[in-house]
């Protein structure tokens, strides 16, 4: 499982939580449900400790503090992007793993931001009050954007904390989240990728599973390890089968409350288009990777990410293409709408479904163009992203904060600059490949005779144009970016960098498309707000909002399942060894040299991975699993295939969260990697 | 390069051949051109000997007789499909290679048909006479189909030879080709695939190149080696740089005379759609292959074919996306049309361009549906192909021969049955994967709520439906197919095989779409006929028709080229060894065990691959290269990347045909494989 990569899904026609379902807000925890079902009382103190021990990874994952000196446990695959950026042709940290034997050897990540949630404030009334009756969708969207920017700015100025207004329940509520922010984050320990991702793409989303998918980072403040009084106590024994466990993490996005019409769009357009892009990208990157070993090193992380997305979306799409499931969803929506129609005050909520369907249809009429030009799928290189960020930052700076594009407000400045000035390596040959490919897609999608396409290609073939842009740009140099950024609008408009020139050339149309989509999205959000308020009234308080990459609590039990055969809840080093042998030890079932030398010393009975019924999704990767005592008893890293439909409907028949067992982390660090310093810091 | 896999291309606005251009008919050879340019006189005897030594491989390639006992030289990649079919989990002939040390050990291919051209007859007048003035396009198409079937049937009955009417010049001419047919073909020798396809996908279509892409088969008649008095004499010394050489083979398809409107369709629709399918298929097959070593063995051939197609079409598409090239093509067409308009009798030829554009536009309006249902892209498993063949064979059998669908006439019966009753292995797990994937594509392309899609899915998701169809069908058993085939319409209509039931369910709409397309195609063919006749008149006799997988002669010289650096005409075992070392010896630059043991004995100076200016395309794979004396001096196996635009325009600036040198074949068989029996038969 990868952090945050899904395009979106679905209607759980009733939002009321059943079974172990739910990604609960920390300011609205499932106290009653856990008490009733599992006889455990969630206290405010218990919750606060878990909250402040939880860490959000800005690149789309989760983690937790495991020492008072800022030591953080997360997944290897959450950290893999950083580990790759810290690698060089001579030092391949993905392949070899990494261990800072001394504090001074910890490696600083080029552009990683961590957030720790310090508090939540409900600002729904203030946001809604800013929108006046009778405003057009365009005016309403602008007013809402302005008041949200103002709230964030005030909070940042007052507290110094990162302040984000989170839209919940599709606009049914707005909460202000304040985060402690860490931008100096260092790599402490990572196993080799063969062990971390044992079984690779074939075993991804499968269970039984055998991955040492863990890594340790450390938060720093003022050049020294951060002081983190809230951290999780390590419990190597883990949890028993049947035991109640919680996860605290940042599920990226679910779509359990979209309407049937939106579901059809996702099924017929959103997912197929995303899959087309992923299949293409996978074949392309693998072919390039095959050309030589250094290419392979450079493309490895990208390929893993692409394969993960492909497998996840394919499984979800197959779910949506199940006519029985869709029939059920249609019936549930009909039932809900009938209930709405039965009461005069909910009539508008019923009509809202039709408004959403119309807005969806309108958006589909230009969605390809929107994706290509504003979504930049037609120029899929990070270097174009940099060019556009420079152009827009320069242009937006001249506007009042509340009128700027999202991401360019004062409250976003620190994160924007962290990204923009990252010194992560840029491989121009790989970027040229990606750009050529995406220009070719652009031609196919809009037609090679389209005026925008003609302007973009500038009289060249995609191959020549990509080569000219990538060879010509200097945006791969951080100093160039900084100079343009500091030079402001004048410098950016005068720049003869070809990538900047390209961004200038298409920005008018791209912004126009974006504005058009935002107006439609505001209409959809307003309609969802009406539906959600009617649901509140109809279904009481036992509901939770769709995931929004904000902190959520889920609960469940450690439990195997039946899938033709009985699948036990846990694997072990013994079953890992069996799988390795059965697959002939060839990649991705191979083991590194250090494993081959030392694996004989491992206790084969050590539990390795386990499954539980917790409700999670992408973004939860790296979440701690804790017991009633708040001790760390596991590390979320995946969902099994039957659980992937959780994007649009939770299921505990076969769907499971998959975790690394703490005993396996300790045993591997002790026997294989000999990472004594980390073990000592964990108190082991 | 693979045989025959391209969707189609373009206007060489003037058909007049220049330079070493041309895929010439054997009954209209380039006698004058070769005499003028190279001072060599092509005689009828020289030509007949070459013609009757040339072999067409029914699966889309070429070859030649190299002994009087039916021994045939072709490419390993032309034979790879057969070599794979003859393999088992215990005997991987692709991996290990094959050598029949005794005559009795030669392995019979399950479904390979070879053809040797015995004669050509011009039947243009008879075909055209069958179409009456004032007939609709539909009536004209039917009349033409009927007369062609009659000609073929008469010829088959009279001579016993396979008889095909070939449409040349887009309908400007019709020639009857009579072939000696061999259906008992046996594998004699194949090197291991590592040597045959050294460099794999990364080096495919590149030069310098280092492939031992050769294999030997033998034609049998009545259970004994066929007597083949016409065969090519082997010349290990090959040809000198600068020497005149000829190829005699079966180029599959070129599109040098399509109109600009057709070119736009290919650029914006045909190629992008085909590429989308290939990228998807590549990622899918590779992911499946990675799951375990036996999967890898089963999918290897398919992956090579897919990668080959992807690379070829991508290069061609990039050519069509070059705005300069398209501008040139548009100008050439304008020039030609202006010349047509200048003469009253050619006015209709000018108007024909617009008629083609309108027909293209109409065909595009339903082309996706056509591809999915009639092209069976929505059910991409060989088992569906078998089901449909059984259904249609049963239905067509009840009609007069001339009214049947193409491929179901009496003249096609032998080939149809050879395919239908092939005992090639069917891997149900791989077929289920392919079917699930294509059903998913079907949903995306037509929409999951489309009535045909709803009927096809039958209330299941693509995954479930694919599993049910593949698990349920018995068409993987040859005996089942034979029983249904022999049972005729009654048996097929009564069959409860789920794949047959699926074929029945969609056949009405599929046939309707096909009929609609055929009427449009007839209109396009008529328009092209008018254009071609006007061109004849305008440009004289120095023209050759687009490739049609019928025998063609091309000429050229052995010659290097300049591509940033000077690329020499030949490689050697020494440069192969250098490439192997430079790439670290990892796949696809690895060498088999027998190579590692014995390669030290090879003479490193031995020429390995070479390039020449001959005009070839897919389908020419396996073509002999001969010198003025008609001796075999090379074996075509590829085109370099700059040569791939030859689909729509020949270029000899950098475009080259790539061949295996006969010295490398002999040296590898002697030193590495010790294939003394084959060498002796070659007289070496």
Asked if B455 contacts B446 with a C-beta cutoff of 8 angstroms, the reply is no
Sign of CA dihedral A23, A28, A29, A33: negative
Q: Using the beta-carbon criterion (under 8 Å), do A280 and B279 form an inter-chain contact?
A: yes
**Residue B674: alpha-carbon gap to chain centroid:** 32
The residue in chain B having the minimum alpha-carbon distance to the alpha carbon of residue A437 is B314
Instruction: Please answer yes or no on whether B449 and A264 come within 8 Å at the CB atom.
Output: yes
Whether residue B600 has pLDDT greater than 70: yes
Residues of chain B contacting A326 with CB distance shorter than 8 Å: 448
Please state the φ and ψ torsions of residue A99, each to the nearest 5 degrees: -145, 115
- Using a CB-CB cut-off of 8 Å, the residues of chain B touching A323 are 448, 454, 457, 459-461
- Helices A478-494, A498-539: axis angle to 10 degrees equals 100
Interface check B95 vs A, CB under 8 A: no
Instruction: Name beta bridge partners: A561.
Output: A567
B280-336 pLDDT tens trace: 999 999 999 999 889 999 999 899 999 999 999 998 999 899 998 899 889 999 999
Q: Is B459 on the interface with A (CB under 8 A)?
A: yes
> Rounded CA gap, A63 and A187, in Å?
13
B4 has a chain A CB within 8 A of its CB: no
Least confident segment among A27-41, A130-144, A150-164, A498-512: A130-144
3-state secondary structure A651-673: CCCCCCEEEECHHHHHHHHHHHH
Q: What is the nearest CA distance from B429 to chain A, expressed in angstroms?
A: 15
**Mean per-residue pLDDT over chain B, rounded:** 93
A 160-219: CB under 8 A from B: 200-202
Q: Is the predicted pLDDT of residue B593 greater than 60, yes or no?
A: yes
Q: Which of B165, B257, B151, B320 is nearest to B547 (CA)?
A: B257
DSSP A406: T
Cα–Cα distance measured from residue B439 to residue B462, given in angstroms and rounded to the nearest whole number: 6
pLDDT the model gives residue B18: 59
Comparing alpha-carbon positions, the chain A residue that sits nearest to B272 is A444
pLDDT at A541: 65
Name the residue among A318, A323, A461 with its Cβ closest to that of B318.
A461
At A8 the pLDDT is: 29
| Residue A18: band (very low, low, confident or very high) from pLDDT cuts 50, 70, 90 | low
The domain A21-113+183-250+546-681: what is its CATH number? 2.40.10.120
- Residue B541, pLDDT above cutoff 80: no
Give, in degrees to the nearest 5, the angle at Cα B251 between B248 and B252.
150
Which region, left, alpha or beta, applies to residue B549 given φ > 0 means left and ψ of -120 to 50 means alpha?
Answer: left
Q: Could you tell me what percent of chain A has a pLDDT over 90?
A: 84
Cis peptide before A208 (omega within 30 of 0): yes
Check A586 against B293: CB less than 8 A apart: yes
Closest partner CB to A286 (pick from B268, B286, B293): B286
Candidates B668, B656, B671, B665; CA nearest to B632 is: B665
The structure tokens 């001419």 sit at B173
Q: Is A95 exposed, middle or buried (0-12, 13-18, 19+ CB in 10 A)?
A: middle
For residue A79, which phi and psi values (nearest 5 degrees)? -85, -5
What is the C-alpha to C-alpha distance for residues B66 and B230, in angstroms, rounded to an integer?
Answer: 9
Q: What is the ipTM of this complex?
A: 0.87
DSSP state string for B594-653: HHHHHGGGS-TTSEEEEEE-----TT-TT-EEE-TT--EEEEEEEE-GGGGGGGT----S
- Are A268 and B447 in contact (CB < 8 Å)? yes
B175 min Cα distance to partner chain A (Å): 38
A-chain residues within 8 Å CB-CB of B322? 460-461, 464
Mean pLDDT, chain A, whole residue set: 93
Round to whole Å and give the CA distance between A557 and A611.
Answer: 9
**Alpha helices per DSSP H over B200-270:** 200-203, 260-265
Q: Please indicate if any CB of chain A lies within 8 Å of the CB of B479.
A: no
Q: Tell me the CA distances in angstroms from B266 to A111, A622, B85, B278, B319, one per residue in order.
A: 44, 47, 34, 16, 12
Q: Is the peptide bond before B669 cis (omega within 30 degrees of 0)?
A: no
- Percent above pLDDT 70 for chain B: 97
Contact indicator for B420, B386 with CB cutoff of 8 Å: yes
- Provide the number of CB pairs (under 8 Å) joining chain A to chain B: 142
Note every long-range contact of B669-673, with CB atoms under 8 Å and residues 24 or more positions apart, other chains counting.
B669/B189, B671/B598, B671/B599, B671/B601, B671/B602, B672/B191, B672/B195, B672/B594, B672/B595, B672/B598, B672/B599, B672/B602, B673/B97, B673/B99, B673/B189, B673/B191, B673/B594
Q: What are phi and psi of B60, to 5 degrees?
A: 110, 30
Q: Model confidence at B473, in pLDDT bands (50, 70, 90)?
A: very high
Segment B31-47 shows an average pLDDT of: 95
User: Is the confidence at residue A1, as pLDDT, over 60?
Assistant: no
> Would you say how long chain A is, in residues?
684
**B419 within 8 A of B393, measured Cβ to Cβ:** no
Residue at token pair 């992380």: A301
Q: Is B223 on the interface with A (CB under 8 A)?
A: no
- Please determine, for residue A12, whether its predicted confidence score (pLDDT) is greater than 70: no
Q: Is pLDDT at B80 greater than 80 in this prediction?
A: yes
What local confidence, expressed as pLDDT, does residue A641 receive?
Answer: 87
Question: Which helix H or strand E contains B173, and what residues bound it?
Answer: strand B173-182
Convert B308-338 to b/e letters by CB count within 10 Å (16 or more is b).
bbbbbbbbbbbbbbbbebbeebeeebeebbe
Residue A114: half-sphere exposure toward Cβ, Cα within 13 Å: 32
Query: Could you give the CA distance from residue A186 to residue A74 in angstroms, rounded to a whole number?
Result: 13
User: What is the domain partition of chain B in residue ranges?
Assistant: 21-113+183-250+546-681, 261-346
At residue A460 the predicted structure's pLDDT band, cuts being 50, 70 and 90, is very high
**Chain B contact for A338 (CB, 8 A cutoff):** no
For A13, how many CA atoms within 13 A lie in the half-sphere containing its CB? 19
Give pTM, 2 decimals: 0.89
CB B662 within 8 A of CB B635: yes
Peptide bond into A588 cis (omega under 30): yes
The residue in chain B having the minimum alpha-carbon distance to the alpha carbon of residue A322 is B461
List alpha helices for A540-628, DSSP H: 573-582, 593-598
Q: Give the Cβ contact number of residue B92 at 10 Å.
A: 19
Mean predicted confidence (pLDDT) in B635-647: 90
Which residue, among B380, B200, B367, B365, has the nearest Cα to B278 in the 3D structure? B380
pLDDT (tens digit per residue) in A585-635? 988 999 999 999 999 999 999 999 999 999 999 999 999 999 999 999 999
Residue A6 has pLDDT above 50, yes or no: no
The answer to whether the Cβ–Cβ distance between A307 and B287 falls below 8 Å is yes
Tell me: pLDDT of B15 over 80. no
In which residue are the tokens 């589909």 written? A364
Tokens matching residue A82: 């950083």
Instruction: Report, as an integer, the average pLDDT of A368-378.
Output: 97
How much is the pLDDT for B171? 82
Question: Distance (Å, rounded) from C-alpha B121 to C-alpha B660?
Answer: 34
Q: Name the residue in chain A with its Cα closest to that of B279.
A: A280
Q: Are A284 and A437 in contact (CB under 8 A)?
A: yes
Give me the torsion for CA of B418, B420, B423, B425, rounded to 10°. 130
Residue of A nearest to B274 (CA): A444
Q: What residues pair up with B190 in beta bridges, in sequence order?
A: B98
Rounded to an integer, what is the distance from CA A18 to the centroid of its chain?
25
User: Does B668 lie at the interface with A, CB-CB under 8 angstroms?
Assistant: no
Q: Does B154 touch chain A (CB under 8 A)?
A: no
CB atoms near residue B223 (< 10 Å): 6
Query: Which distant-in-sequence residues (6+ apart) come within 8 Å of A171 by Cβ?
Result: A525, A526, A528, A529, A532
Query: CB-based contacts of B617: which residues, under 8 Å, 6+ apart?
Result: B6, B23, B251, B252, B253, B254, B547, B639, B646, B647
- The answer for B 568-627 residues in CB contact with A (under 8 A) is 583-584, 586, 588
Is the per-residue pLDDT at A16 higher than 70? no
Segment A307-355, tens digit of pLDDT: 999 999 998 999 899 998 899 889 999 999 999 999 999 999 999 999 9
Look up tokens 């054997």; give the residue: B26
Short-list A430, A455, A429, CA closest to A443: A455
- Contact yes or no for A621/A3 (Cβ under 8 A): yes
Q: Identify the pLDDT of residue B72.
A: 98
Q: What is the pLDDT of residues A651-675, one digit of tens each?
A: 888 899 999 999 999 999 999 999 9
What SS3 state is found at A649? coil
Judged by a CB distance cut-off of 8 A, whether residue B361 touches chain A is no
Length in residues, chain B? 684
């Amino acid at each position: 499982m990868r952090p945050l990569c899904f395009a979106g899904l679905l209607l759980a026609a009733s939002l009321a939580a059943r079974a172990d379902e739910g990604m609960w807000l920390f300011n609205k925890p499932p106290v009653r449900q856990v008490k009733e079902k599992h006889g455990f009382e969630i206290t405010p103190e218990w919750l606060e400790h878990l909250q402040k021990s939880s860490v959000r990874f800005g690149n789309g994952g989760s983690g937790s503090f495991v020492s008072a000196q800022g030591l953080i446990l997360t997944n290897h695959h959450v950290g893999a992007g950083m580990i790759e950026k810290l690698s060089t042709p001579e030092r391949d940290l993905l392949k070899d793993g990494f261990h800072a034997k001394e504090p001074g050897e910890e490696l600083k990540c080029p552009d990683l931001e961590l957030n720790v949630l310090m508090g939540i404030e409900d600002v729904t009334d203030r946001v809604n009050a800013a929108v006046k009756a009778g405003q057009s969708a365009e005016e309403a969207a602008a007013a809402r954007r302005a008041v949200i920017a103002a709230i964030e700015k005030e909070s940042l100025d007052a507290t110094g904390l990162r302040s984000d207004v989170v839209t919940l329940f599709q606009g049914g509520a707005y909460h202000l989240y304040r985060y402690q922010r860490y931008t100096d984050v260092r790599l402490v320990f990572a196993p080799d990728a063969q062990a971390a991702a044992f079984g690779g793409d074939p075993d991804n989303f499968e269970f039984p599973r055998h991955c040492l998918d863990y890594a340790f980072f450390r938060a720093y403040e003022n050049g020294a390890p951060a002081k983190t009084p809230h951290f999780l106590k390590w419990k190597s024994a883990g949890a028993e089968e049947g035991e109640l466990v919680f996860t605290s993490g940042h599920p990226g996005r679910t779509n359990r409350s979209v309407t049937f019409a939106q579901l059809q769009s996702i099924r017929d357009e959103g997912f197929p288009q995303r899959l087309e892009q992923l299949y293409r990208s996978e074949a392309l990157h693998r072919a390039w990777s095959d050309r030589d070993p250094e290419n392979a090193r450079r493309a490895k992380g990208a390929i893993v990410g692409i394969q993960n997305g492909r497998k996840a979306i394919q499984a979800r799409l197959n779910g949506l293409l199940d006519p029985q499931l869709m029939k059920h969803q249609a019936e549930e929506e009909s039932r809900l709408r009938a209930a709405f129609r039965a009461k005069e005050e909910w009539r508008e909520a019923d009509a809202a479904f039709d408004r959403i369907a119309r807005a969806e249809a309108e958006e589909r009429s230009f969605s390809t163009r929107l994706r290509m030009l504003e979504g930049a799928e037609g120029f899929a290189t990070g270097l174009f992203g940099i060019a556009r960020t420079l152009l827009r930052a320069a242009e937006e700076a001249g506007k009042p904060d509340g009128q700027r594009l999202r991401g360019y407000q004062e409250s976003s400045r620190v994160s924007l600059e962290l990204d923009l000035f990252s010194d992560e390596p840029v491989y121009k040959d790989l970027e040229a490949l990606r750009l050529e490919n995406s220009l070719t897609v652009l031609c196919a999608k809009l037609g090679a005779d389209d005026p925008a396409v003609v302007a973009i290609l500038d009289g060249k073939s995609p191959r020549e144009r990509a080569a000219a842009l990538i060879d010509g740009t200097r945006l791969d140099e951080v100093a160039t970016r900084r100079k343009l950024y500091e030079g402001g609008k004048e410098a950016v408009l005068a720049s003869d960098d070809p990538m900047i020139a390209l961004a200038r050339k298409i920005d008018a149309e791209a912004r126009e498309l974006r504005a058009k989509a935002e107006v439609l999205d505001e209409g959809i959000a307003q309609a969802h707000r009406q539906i959600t308020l009617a649901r509140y009234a109809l279904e009481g308080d036992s509901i939770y909002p769709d995931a929004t990459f904000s902190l959520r609590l889920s609960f469940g039990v450690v439990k195997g399942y039946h899938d033709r055969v009985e699948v036990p809840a846990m694997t072990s080093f013994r079953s890992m060894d069996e799988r390795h042998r059965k697959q002939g030890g060839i990649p991705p079932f191979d083991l590194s040299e250090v494993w081959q030398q030392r694996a004989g010393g491992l206790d084969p009975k050590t539990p390795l991975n386990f499954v539980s019924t917790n409700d999670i999704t992408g973004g939860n990767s790296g979440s701690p699993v804790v017991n009633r005592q708040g001790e760390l008893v596991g590390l979320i890293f995946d969902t099994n295939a039957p659980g992937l439909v959780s994007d649009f409907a939770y299921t505990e028949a076969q769907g499971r969260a998959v975790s690394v067992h703490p005993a396996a982390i300790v045993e591997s660090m002790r026997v294989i990697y000999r990472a004594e310093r980390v073990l000592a810091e964990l108190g082991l």
